[in-house]
Amino acid sequence: MNPFLKETAQKILESGRDLKEITVVLPNRRAGLFFTRYMGELIQEPVWMPEVITIEQLFYRLAGNTPADELTLIFELYKLYRQIQTEPEDFDRFYFWGELILKDFNDLDQFLAPAKTVYTNLAEIKEFESDLSFLSEEQKELISQFWKAFERQNESEQERFLRFWQILAQLYDQFQARLRTAGLAYSGQLYRQVAENTNLIAKPEKHVVFVGFNAFTLTEEKLIKHFVKKFGAEIYWDVDAYYLDDRLQEAGLFFRDYQKDSVLGKTFPEEIPAEISQKAPVIHTHAIPLKTNQANLVGKLLEKVGTEEALEETVIILPDEQLLFPVLHTLPEEISKLNVTMGYPIRNAPIYAFLDAVLDLQRYAKWKNGRVIFYHKPVIDLLSFSYLKASDAEFAEEISEKIKLDNLLDVPVEALAKEGTLFQLVFRKVEPQDLFDYLGEIIQYLAQELKEDVIQRSYLYQAFKQLNRLKEVFRTNQDKGLKMDFVLKLFRQIFRELKLPFEGEPLQGLQIMGVLESRNLDFRRVIICDVNEGSFPPGGGINSMIPFNLRRAFGLPVQEQNDAIYAYTFYRLLHRAEEVHLIYTTSADQGKANEVSRFVQQMQAELHVSKPDTVMIPVQLTPGKEITLEKTPEILQRLSNYVKKEVENPYEKSFSASALSMYLDCRLRFYFRYVASLKEKEEVVSDIDPMTFGTLLHSALEFLYEVEEGKSHRDIDSHTIDRLLPQVPEAVDKAIRKFYKKENGEELELSGQLVIAREIFIKFVKEILSYDQKNGPFRVIGLEKEYQAGIPVETAQGKLEIALKGVIDRMDIKNSVVRLLDYKTGKDNKTVRSIASLFDRKDDKRNKAAMQTLLYAYFYQYEHRANQLPLKPGIFNIKEIYNPQFSPFLVMDKEEISDYRDFAAEFESGLSGLLAEIFNPEVPFDQTEDEKKCTYCAYKEICGR
């Protein structure tokens, strides 16, 4: 293989010119590195090398200036915009479409388009589009009913809209003058300045050679033609007859135009190489199911590279940088050297995520009652980062647990800022204008703490450098206060594009690069990933305020030309390659089928490239193994903690009704929760989920019916309820305060969802009071009271008393009957088919709520052994409260269960039998057979279900 750049270097050597009197101009710096290397290989004796520069450097040299920082340019543009526009927006809003305006200015100048004419046409188009005078009022009304995007603007809004488009031409002209006065410039402006003044360019001292160009901007074309015509400059084209001679081939779009040009046409070689037409045997296409599987295939292909082969002759082209790390992980061990040109995106580094979370913290920080508070979510996110854990892991864990356990929506700064640590640096409120200093202090602290970690320090260095650049630009230009949201958006946008360069020798080892970085370079073995439509060529249009028809009319670049550039980049890689692998994926992506690139389809039709080799990734599906845990002595020892003890706290560990129901649902889940003590994930509740709804409702009713301290009961009659009804809103507010840990004097701020929920709570509580009022007087003897009990169970160790516990929502006495009521917010059934069915795990209609209520009756009787009154269990379904036939009491055989004691013996026998099974060493903890029960299980990932 003889690379194009090496071939060109050979021709320059053979030309007989003195090398030090030659300037070689290339499209990019990477091509310059390879060109210099090839030239060095060809030279046999010490000589001065030719000067090697990029086309960009040539323009800037001739213009005598370099482009300013983009952020500085946008600030300059905004200052001018404020002078011209009568009602200018804030810089925060202007910035993101200021970028777009700047890009359009650059295009206009690069392609020498008449800016005033373009923007005058654009303003007229917008005026036509916004003119609805031809519609009648009735037609406008009809359109607005069916088309939401149709908005009827008043005259002032319409004038403001049109005014923006009308000032663009003026903005362009005055921006040029402003930049010239300030000594600043943008790239396109410098290009235009050079191209429009070619007559002022002095003859260069050195002979100029242009190498490897494809698509010129109009300014580049004008300058190069001037150098060829006036100074005898040479051009070396890297082109192939396959796409040049075929008018339908988009890769040759620009070359065909240049061939016809009176100046450039003479620079083309008499005989155009025809390499691609002979490449069919060496081109292999591979279809693979998933995108990440491409990395596996790349690794397999590289295993075939012989140890005697030069690794730098192999290239992997990655259109998507997300594939970089999967590819690096699959490289064979034999590959010891590689050169990665792409850079590692800082946005994938942990420091970016940490700084982003820090900014998010500031976004939701606020002053309340004279102190700083932070919203809980960014606080919990930050506490999970290794940086804060390294500073004080115990403190981070303690604070995180406190926020979750106390359900703190807002966290005061005093609870977080631990003196002398990273916590103190992070958890403080700063004003937007101080954000850069704030982030800088955090980065410097981390750099000191992580001085032994080279990679982390590299991330921090890049972030700090970028931060200082932003800080300097804002300090120089910003005269107005910043807004937090804008800084966050700007940070994300700028840092998203920032990359950490990989260290390595660019001319040695396996080459891994992006698509455009491969320009002018040739490799013996080429592996291209992601050869799908949307990657080759990339999808999407051109981001511009100037519409397609105007861009086309005034010679500005459109998507067709972008496609042509990518097509050439793709085919150029095939020119001198001896082995080509094109990999594409077949799986659907976001609902769209992944289609192979049209470039591959063209080659299959025209070159008869072989059909794709479908690569099936070997997937060894290991069937999920059933998990069965035998009751080892250790597990039995853990279970013994639930035995009632003859000590100070005999019920330290007790089974609840929920625990027993969980055991009947799935023995293994019961083991995870109550034996292994694997707690389910706790989160701060900010939304009103069913559990929160129930908790708040319970609390509100408790506040209304509470028994005075020192008294054993409270009598409730119709008059009492009349007095309680106006107190319902206050009771609901007290319940909300209690749940969200708000002090009585603290202002209660309700979110939109909570405002609605509060009204629903009030409505439900009033309805419960109304139901109680209609059903006569009663005596409250207990509310939200925890009961503890034991029950004798036959075990392998003999008869043991197992500890139980539960909280009974409400106990009252009516007509000499003790009513045990459990408030429920779901659709719990009150029908009990039989006592035995409550303990039957195979019964998919097992009534869990009824079992719980009957268990409460057992608790009550256990505590009050002398009780002779009937015990009537009930489920107070809130959702059924509006039903005229509503009754909360359990029903069996179509009759209400009027006294638990009638069924006590059978129930206690079933309960004792269930607990005996839990303690039976012969019955293991295994998975449920009904996988529907796994849907919402917190441990399903452990089971692999």
pLDDT at 419: 74
* Structure confidence at residue 239 as a pLDDT band (50, 70, 90): very high
Q: Is the pLDDT of residue 137 over 80?
A: no
Q: Is the pLDDT of residue 748 over 70?
A: no
Q: Is the pLDDT of residue 298 over 70?
A: yes
Per DSSP, 799 falls in state: E
> Each residue of 535-548: b (16+ CB within 10 Å) or e?
bbbeeeebebebee
Between 474-483, 505-514, 666-675, 798-807, the lowest mean confidence (pLDDT) is in 474-483
Measuring CA to CA, which residue among 457, 484, 487, 453 is closest to residue 470?
A: 487
Q: Is the pLDDT of residue 149 over 60?
A: no
Task: Give the integer Cα–Cα distance in Å for 352 and 356.
Answer: 6
Q: Is the pLDDT of residue 337 over 70?
A: yes
Between 259-273, 298-312, 762-776, the lowest mean confidence (pLDDT) is in 298-312
pLDDT at 156: 60
Between 20-29, 121-130, 150-159, 277-286, the lowest mean confidence (pLDDT) is in 150-159
More confident call, 830 vs 224: 224
Between 457-461, 632-636, 701-705, the lowest mean confidence (pLDDT) is in 457-461
Per-residue pLDDT, averaged over 336-352, amounts to: 82
Q: Is the pLDDT of residue 276 over 60?
A: yes
DSSP states of 81-126 as a string?
HHHH-SSPPPHHHHHHHHHHHHHHHHHHHHTT--HHHHHHHHHHHH
Summarised one tens digit per residue, pLDDT across range 95-132 is: 888 999 999 999 999 999 999 999 999 988 888 776 66
Sequence-ordered strand ranges (E) for 406-456: 410-412
Q: Is the pLDDT of residue 150 over 50?
A: no
More confident call, 73 vs 507: 73
Residue 884 exposed, middle or buried by CB count within 10 Å (0-12, 13-18, 19+): exposed
Q: Is the pLDDT of residue 343 over 80?
A: no
Per-residue pLDDT, averaged over 287-316, amounts to: 88
Per-residue pLDDT, averaged over 213-236, amounts to: 96
Summarised one tens digit per residue, pLDDT across range 461-503 is: 888 888 888 888 887 776 556 677 888 888 887 877 777 777 6
Residue 199 exposed, middle or buried by CB count within 10 Å (0-12, 13-18, 19+): exposed
More confident call, 503 vs 203: 203
Q: Is the pLDDT of residue 177 over 90?
A: yes
DSSP states of 194-238 as a string?
HHTTGGGPPPPSSEEEEES-----HHHHHHHHHHHHHH--EEE--
Q: Is the pLDDT of residue 620 over 60?
A: no
Summarised one tens digit per residue, pLDDT across range 369-383 is: 788 888 889 999 999
Q: Over the chain, what is the mean pLDDT?
A: 88
pLDDT at 503: 65
Please indicate, yes or no, whether the overall pTM of this predicted structure exceeds 0.75: no
> Each residue of 211-232: b (16+ CB within 10 Å) or e?
bbbbbbbbbbbbbbbbbbeeee
Q: Is the pLDDT of residue 143 over 60?
A: no
Secondary structure (3-state) at 273: coil
Between 129-133, 386-390, 754-758, 918-922, the lowest mean confidence (pLDDT) is in 129-133
Task: Give the integer Cα–Cα distance in Å for 911 and 100.
Answer: 73
Terminal-to-terminal C-alpha distance of the chain: 54
* Structure confidence at residue 592 as a pLDDT band (50, 70, 90): low
Q: Which of 470-479, 536-545, 701-710 ranks highest by mean pLDDT? A: 701-710
Between 305-309, 578-582, 659-663, the lowest mean confidence (pLDDT) is in 305-309
Per-residue pLDDT, averaged over 65-94, amounts to: 88
More confident call, 626 vs 847: 847
Are 876 and 847 in contact, with CB atoms under 8 Å apart? Answer: no
* Structure confidence at residue 835 as a pLDDT band (50, 70, 90): very high
Task: Give the integer Cα–Cα distance in Å for 398 and 939.
Answer: 24
Provide the percentage of residues in the chain whose pLDDT is more than 70. 93
Per-residue pLDDT, averaged over 63-85, amounts to: 91
Per-residue pLDDT, averaged over 430-437, amounts to: 86
Q: Is the pLDDT of residue 553 over 90?
A: yes
Pairing of strands 871-877, 817-824: parallel
More confident call, 63 vs 625: 63
Summarised one tens digit per residue, pLDDT across range 240-263 is: 999 999 999 999 999 999 999 999
pLDDT at 673: 92
Q: Is the pLDDT of residue 45 over 80?
A: yes
Per-residue pLDDT, averaged over 533-553, amounts to: 86
Measuring CA to CA, which residue among 726, 724, 744 is closest to residue 735?
A: 744
Token pair in block for residue 177: 């003058």
pLDDT at 173: 95
Block residue for tokens 């800082």? 346
Are 574 and 248 in contact, with CB atoms under 8 Å apart? Answer: no
Element (H, E) at 794: strand 778-795
Task: Give the integer Cα–Cα distance in Å for 315 and 236.
Answer: 24
Q: Is the pLDDT of residue 269 over 80?
A: yes
More confident call, 35 vs 621: 35
